[in-house]
Structures are given as structure tokens and as C-alpha cells.
Amino acid sequence: MKKYRFCGAILAIFVSFSSSAQTGDRVELGSLASGATVSFVRDAGGKWGVEINGGKDPRILQPKPAQVEVFRTEEDIRTLATGYDVVEKSGAVVEARAEVSAGDSVVFRVKDRWSLSGAVLSVARTVDVTGNASGGFNSSVVLTLDRSINWTDVNCFAPGALYGDPTFNGDRSPGGTANYAARHFLMREDILSAPLFALSFSNGASVSMLNPSPRGDSTVAETRLVSPVMVDARFQFGALGAWQTDDRPIELGFYWPGPMRSTGGGPRGGAAGTRWMRRYHPITQGVTHSYEVRFRFGQNESFRDLIRNSWRWAWNTLNPAVTYVDVEQVRRTLIDQLASVVLTTNGRTAMPFVIATFPTNAVQWNYTMTAMGFVGKSIESADQLLREADRDPTERGRMMREKGLAIISSLIKALSTVPLQGTGYDVATGERWTGDHPEWVAPWLRNATEDMRVLMRAYRREKALGREHP
């Protein structure tokens, strides 16, 4: 009898605990370190959404957390979103499930596991595909900020791409002024030094978003960024950012697999506009994609504090492994590659301005252009060959010394007047470059002074070794 009384008491405690966390139309996951409470709220239609409210954090409400984008054609791209059908709390975890119907007997089954740890809210998502259809899909985890927050009130941070004010980022860069004016930052995680994007608010609160397990799998064809739309189950990269469309509130979100959006002028002064590179997984029976997103909620942080704290959080979470490399082998390999592309023609030797990094039988249009300093670095290349020759007394070193001296000698003969008539020339003729873009080898001050500094340093080194160059 005592045994049954004990079991009944345990059951009563469990029911009491569950009731405190789940009361009718609200399930509380718990509280963040900032004091905000994370809850799941059921609407009049029986669907569950996510609410984060309290403390200094901006109120966040996402009534339709299960979001899927379906691509059929360029003219038929649909965003399907719904609330959760089921929300169940077990211990410190809430499991939420939803079914997103895309027609043609295609259903995306979304399962999210939400959890809390101090200031960090995590969601681990799995999407299973039932049915088959043409085209592709991605899914997203998106948080919607309170409407009282304006785009101009927020500072955005993306490591290596955006540090608040985009004024000096250029117009076309991912974190540039064109995307800021369009109120739309969306960046592939593989262009960032960490898969991190953060928002800083005027009251010292902040929200940082991180993919804690980046993979980055792609294909050679995809990395060329030629096709605006590609569908492949091998894509294992996300995109993250913040945006505000039309009269909607600001949204902070993560897409899997990740599209890329750019705003601004086209290549070499082309027409301005918006360009999408969309990436999807196939809508095929049995396809599953899984990923995790974490949100760190900061408080009492200046924007500089946010940059430091969110970066350190990302670093500690990702815990990147140290990869040891044979530096000497890398150095020798690179200098061998440099020596292999030196061009000698018509008695002149030079480092070509451009070398194709991909296999091709086509001759680069400016293959015989050579230039000083900046991106040409002809004398700096020659100096590297001379330095390697001093390290290596073999035939390899003698070959490099010969090429290095020939590059410098040819350049001095081609650009023999003072002031310089240019900072480069045509190796084929030994004269001024007359092909396309002659301005690239105009007498730029930076180009000339950069390589002349290297030349003077090389001259002093050679003289100290007893080598005269009258």
C-alpha cells in the first residue's frame, strides 16, 4: 500500500510541474539569463508559435516557425509557413512538430528541438520529405522583432563583412551600402570568418545568431557561382542575416541550404539591380536535412562589447582545431609555382599580370602585360626568386636567380626614362602597353613606389653579399 502511495505522490509532483510549465495555450521553455522568458503560444486556430519576452530584450514573436521555400521555376517560388501542430515539453527540452504541405502529395515534416542554456537559445531542426516533385526546397529559422524597432536603430555585425556603419564597405559588398539601403543583409556562411550574425540595440540588448556545426559541403560547379539556381542534396551550407521587407518588422534568420543575395551595380559598371543565387535540396521521398541554430541574448553591451563577446562565444562554441602544416614544404611549393609562370619572349623576361587559375587552352587577353607593385608585383616576384636562390645552391636555385635578375633587367630597359612613362609594359614588344586597359599600367605613384622599395632592399642585400649591379 505504501508503494502505491509513493508512486501516487511522484505522479502528483510530475503533474504539478508540467502544469506550471504548460497551461492550456502556453508552454514555457524557461528563462534566459537576461530575464526574458521563452514560451510557445497557441493561437485561435490551434497552431503554436514562439514568443520571447521580458527583460531588456526586444519582444520576439514568430507565429509560424516552420518555414519552407519551394522552388518550381524562376516565376514560381513560394514561401510556405505554418505554426507547430504539436508542442511537447520533456525536462529542459521542447519538441515541436509541424507538417508543411506543398501540394502534389508533397509534405515536409518539420521537427524542432528547443533548449536553453544560460543566455543561449538553441533549436535543432530536422526536415523529412514525403513525396516527389520537380524543383527544390530550403527551410529557415526566422525570429521576428517587435515592430517598434526600426532598421536605423539597429547595428549589424557579421565578422569580416559588416561592423555597424556600412559607409566605407563599398556599395556592392555583402555588407555594403546598397544592401543596407535595401534593408536586406543575407550572407552565405562560407564567406564569413565564422557563421555568425548579430544585432545590437540602443538599450544595450543584443541578439547573436550562430551555426554551431558548419559543414560547408558544395560542388565544383556550385562554387563557380554561375548558375542562379541549383538543386543538390550535397549542399551543406547555410546563409544568415537580417532584413526588413515592405512594412513588415525586422527579421533575423538562417536558411538551409543558403541562398545569396547581392544588391548594386553589375560587374564592371553594369546595370544596378538585385541578384539571387538560390540553392535548394531536391523534393524527393526520403530526403532529410538537419541543422542547428543558436541565439545568444546579450545585455548591457555596447556595440564594441557585442563584437567582442559574440565573437568569443562563436570561437568557444566552434572550438576550431589547430591544423599543423609543413611550412617549409608550403614555401618551396609556392616559390616553385611562382618560377614556373615566369614568361620569357623576344629576349625579355617578366611576371605576367594575370595567370588563369583554372585549366584552359585559351590565352589570356593581357598575358604579355607586366606591371610593378600593387597587384602586378613584378619586382617583388623577382625578389622572392632571388631570396630562394640564396637558400638553394643547386640548379634549382641557379635557375631562380637567373629568372629573377632577368625580370628586373627587362623592366629597367623597358622603363628607362625618368619620370616613368608607366608602371608596366608589353613583354611581347618591350614597349608601352597599347592593348585594352592601358590605365592599369599608367604611372601610378603607389605601383612604382611599392616595387622600387623592394628593388632598393634587394640591391642593398646583393651588395652586402659582394654582388655588384652597376
Domains of the chain in start order, with CATH, are: 21-318 (2.70.98), 327-464 (no CATH)
Q: Using the 8-state DSSP alphabet, how is residue 135 labeled?
A: S
- 3-state percent breakdown (helix, strand, coil) of the chain, nearest 5: 25, 35, 35
Distance of CA 30 to the CA centre of its chain: 32
Place of cell 548579430: 198
Size of the chain, expressed as the number of residues it contains: 470
462 is written with which cell numbers?
646583393
Examine residue 470 and say whether the peptide bond preceding it is cis (omega within 30 degrees of 0): no
Residue 363 has a pLDDT of 82
How many Cα atoms are found within 13 Å in the side-chain-facing hemisphere of 328?
2
What pLDDT does residue 78 have?
96
Please report which residue ranges of 153-266 form alpha helices under DSSP H. Answer: 177-181, 220-223
In angstroms, the CA 178 to CA 191 distance is 18
Q: Taking Cα atoms as reference points, which of 135, 81, 89, 73 lies closest to residue 108?
A: 81
236 close to 215: Cβ distance less than 8 angstroms: yes
pLDDT at 20: 40
What's the pLDDT score for residue 265? 54
What cell numbers appear for 149 in the block?
Answer: 524597432
> What pLDDT, on the 0 to 100 scale, is given for residue 18?
40
Report the distance separating Cα 307 and Cα 303, nearest Å: 6
Quote the cell numbers at residue 79: 514561401
**Residue whose grid cell is 568569443:** 312
Compute the distance between CA of residue 456 and CA of residue 168 in angstroms, rounded to an integer.
34
What's at 180, amino acid-wise?
Answer: Y
- DSSP helix/strand/coil, 422: coil
CB-based contacts of 14, cutoff 8 Å, min separation 6? none
Spans of the chain, pLDDT less than 50: 1-21, 267-269
Output phi, psi for 243, to 5 deg: -160, 165
